[in-house]
């Protein structure tokens, strides 16, 4: 209560100050306020507003942290040492930050160097011991979520002491127990036969982008391996259209010059120009070219469901419809006649030619690739189901 009142008084005294350090102080973000004030005072050691902000922030931050340590020690709980270690480390870092300032400033804020080394070492050792013992107890339960907690605690322990006892072996054990393993597979329940390479191509599908910290996907089942979930692409229908050749016939025509002819008058005589020369005019003829435009078309549709199975309960926990379409299209043209009669559009169509139709197996494989990509997108959206 006293600290709050003091802060209010200080706010009024420095009401004209809009500096970010004061704003941090008012919000109780003392270390941010200290950082800002230290930077400002390194540039201008005589800034009175920053001196006041630093004095109050440093005092209140240390009071808060020392009270926290005292309360943790009084609690008598075994899991307090990591918090105590972190708080002592913060106290040490804070005083090192402030120590960069000139001695008159340190005198002004009542700075006194305190050696926290013994406290830090003690808390670090006890925190490491707690993490080790607690992680081993959690692993004895052989439960997934307990193993994840154990793993995180062992990582904290490794950050403190990289070679602490058998921490690496325990970490591997915790990781293996804590992971959720998911098998991604395809089942063909349609009346169509899948190409022999379909399953092998599925196994090559990269699912690494689906992996998360505690979720690992496989596309090929490992013998005698327990999977927590199965995700099944359940193919219920494969429909392949017949090969289609649709033709469209049209004729391009063009007027082109075809020599000269004499211009005749009404009596059938050749007209003369002003110099007495015979008048000649261009003669035109119509040329044409018959165009046969051909459209090749073939389609494949694979549809079914994407089913999420919980292997422990043997139940489907979610199912989504899924459908993939793949189309083969090719347009080309053939001609008969004078090519000079062709329009620019028709000429462009001649650049393409007939392409052999893909086999049914090829169409299924292409549609299958689309299907697998869609399935991965659905899995990403429903990753919360895989705990």
- pLDDT number for residue 197: 80
Where a domain ends, among 218, 236, 254?
A: 236
Across 291-318, b (16+ Cβ under 10 Å) vs e yields beebebbbbbbbbbbbbbbbeeeeeeee
Asked, for residue 361, whether it belongs to a domain, the answer is: no
Are 193 and 173 members of one domain? Answer: no
DSSP notation for 110-170: T------HHHHHHHHHHHHHHHHHHHHHHHHTT-HHHHHHHHHHHHHHHHH-TT-TTHHHH
Residues 6 and 110 in one domain: yes
pLDDT in tens, 228-280: 999 999 999 999 999 999 999 999 999 988 888 888 888 888 888 888 888 88
Dihedral of the CA atoms 159, 161, 163, 164 (nearest 10)? Answer: -120
pLDDT at 159: 94
Percent of the chain with pLDDT over 90: 72
Total domains present in the chain: 3
pLDDT tens column, 373-386:
899 899 999 999 99
- Domain presence at residue 90: yes
- What is the CA 88 to chain-centroid distance, rounded? 38
Domain that holds residue 191: 183-236
Q: Is 376 within the bounds of a domain?
A: no
Beta-carbon contacts of residue 373 (< 8 Å; ≥ 6 apart): none
Does the pLDDT of residue 369 top 60, yes or no?
yes
Q: Would you call 323 helix, strand, or coil by DSSP?
A: strand
pTM of the model: 0.68
Between CA 244 and CA 249, with CA 248 as vertex, the angle to 5 degrees is 145
Confidence at residue 8, expressed as pLDDT on a 0 to 100 scale: 47
Is 174 in the same domain as 192?
Answer: no
- Alpha-carbon distance 29 to 255, whole Å? 87
Give dist(CA 285, CA 272) in Å, integer.
25
Q: Which of 285, 299, 298 is nearest to 340 (CA)?
A: 285
Regarding whether 147 and 75 lie in a shared domain, the answer is no
Residue with structure tokens 């690992």?
216
Q: What is the pLDDT of residue 15?
A: 42
For 290-311, the pLDDT digits (tens) are: 999 999 999 999 999 999 999 9
- pLDDT for 56: 95
CB 285 within 8 A of CB 218: no
Average pLDDT of the chain, as a whole number:
90
Same domain, 52 and 89: yes
Query: Does 39 score more than 90 pLDDT?
Result: yes
For the stretch 154-207, pLDDT in tens is: 999 999 999 999 999 999 999 999 999 999 988 889 888 888 787 677 666 677
Question: Is residue 324 domain-resident?
Answer: no
CA distance 85 to 155: 16
Domain assignment present for residue 355? The answer is: no
What local confidence, expressed as pLDDT, does residue 114 receive? 94
On whether residue 149 sits in a domain, the answer given is yes
Higher pLDDT, 197 or 85: 85
Name the one residue in this structure whose structure tokens are 């893909």: 358
Q: What is the mean pLDDT of residues 67-75?
A: 95
User: Which segments of the chain does DSSP mark as H helices, in order?
Assistant: 2-13, 20-26, 30-43, 48-75, 81-98, 103-108, 117-140, 144-160, 167-178, 197-204, 344-349, 360-381
Structure confidence at residue 130 as a pLDDT band (50, 70, 90): very high
Mean pLDDT over 205-222 rounds to: 86
Q: What's the pLDDT at 3? A: 54
Whether residue 327 is contained in a domain is answered as: no
Same-domain pairing of 58 and 142: no
In a domain, 30, yes or no: yes
């Amino acid at each position: 209560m006293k600290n709050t009142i003091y802060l209010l008084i200080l706010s009024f005294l420095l009401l004209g100050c809009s500096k970010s350090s004061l704003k941090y102080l008012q919000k109780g973000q003392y270390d941010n306020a200290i950082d800002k004030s230290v930077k400002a005072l390194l540039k201008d050691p005589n800034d009175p507003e920053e001196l006041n902000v630093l004095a109050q922030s440093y005092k209140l931050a240390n009071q808060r942290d020392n009270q926290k340590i005292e309360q943790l020690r009084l609690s008598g709980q075994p899991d307090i040492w990591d918090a105590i270690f972190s708080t002592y480390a913060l106290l040490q870092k804070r005083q090192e930050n402030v120590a960069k300032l000139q001695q008159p400033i340190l005198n002004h804020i009542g700075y006194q160097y305190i050696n926290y080394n013994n406290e830090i070492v003690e808390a670090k050792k006890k925190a490491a011991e707690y993490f080790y013992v607690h992680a081993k107890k959690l692993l004895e339960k052989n439960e997934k979520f307990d193993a994840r907690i154990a793993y995180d605690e062992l990582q904290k322990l490794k950050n403190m002491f990289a070679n602490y006892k058998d921490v690496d072996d325990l970490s591997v054990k915790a990781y293996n127990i804590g992971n959720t393993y998911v098998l991604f597979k395809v089942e063909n329940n349609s009346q169509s036969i899948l190409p022999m390479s379909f399953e092998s191509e599925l196994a090559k599908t990269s699912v690494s982008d689906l992996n998360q910290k505690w979720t690992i996907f496989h596309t090929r089942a490992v013998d005698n391996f327990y999977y927590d979930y199965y995700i099944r692409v359940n193919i219920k229908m494969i429909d392949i259209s017949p090969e289609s050749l649709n033709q469209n016939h049209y004729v391009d025509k063009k007027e082109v010059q075809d020599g000269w002819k004499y211009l005749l008058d009404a009596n059938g005589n050749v007209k003369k120009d002003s110099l007495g020369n015979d008048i000649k005019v261009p003669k035109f003829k119509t040329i044409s070219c018959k165009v046969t435009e051909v459209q090749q078309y073939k389609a494949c549709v694979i549809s079914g469901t994407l089913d999420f199975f919980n292997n422990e309960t043997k139940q489907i926990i979610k199912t989504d419809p899924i459908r993939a379409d793949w189309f083969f299209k090719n347009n080309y043209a053939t001609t008969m006649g004078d090519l000079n009669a062709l329009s620019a559009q028709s000429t462009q169509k001649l650049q393409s030619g007939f392409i052999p139709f893909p086999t049914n197996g090829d169409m299924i494989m292409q549609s299958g690739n689309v299907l697998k990509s869609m399935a991965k997108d659905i899995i990403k959206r429903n990753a919360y189901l895989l705990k």
